[in-house]
Amino acid sequence: MEELVARITAATGLDASTAQTAIGHVLAFLQKEGPQDQITQLIDAIPGAREAIAQAGDAGGGLLGGLMSSFGGGVMVLGQKLMSEGLSMDQIKTLASELLAHGRENAGEDVMGQIVGSIPGLSQFV
């Protein structure tokens, strides 16, 4: 996780704590929305990923999150959550891009391709 946090902080200008929380939110979102076999492979390939998810403390997103997710707005709910942590839209895009690149490097192109292909709106960050 330290390598990924350093990569995110260098690319976004976020402090390490905020970067780790944001990573946890993104991974929790992927875990909820993505294909479970591939998500498990991704999480297993990133040391500290499970801890980051737990620290982010993502619950289901409430009624609004559930409604938006059911209408394909899952990425929007995630964006709102990250903005509430203080990230700008540019930082969110960079975070997602770097995290997905890190996933490709560690879990493989096939795994990440299946994850990205299964979650509406995620491909805009690849």
126 belongs to a structural domain: no
Query: How many structural domains does the chain have?
Result: 1
Note the pLDDT tens digit of each residue in 62-97: 444 444 444 456 788 898 999 999 999 999 999 999
67 belongs to a structural domain: yes
pTM score, whole prediction: 0.86
The answer to whether residues 28 and 56 touch, using CB atoms and an 8 Å cutoff, is yes
52 belongs to a structural domain: yes
pLDDT for position 122 = 84
Owning domain of residue 75: 2-120
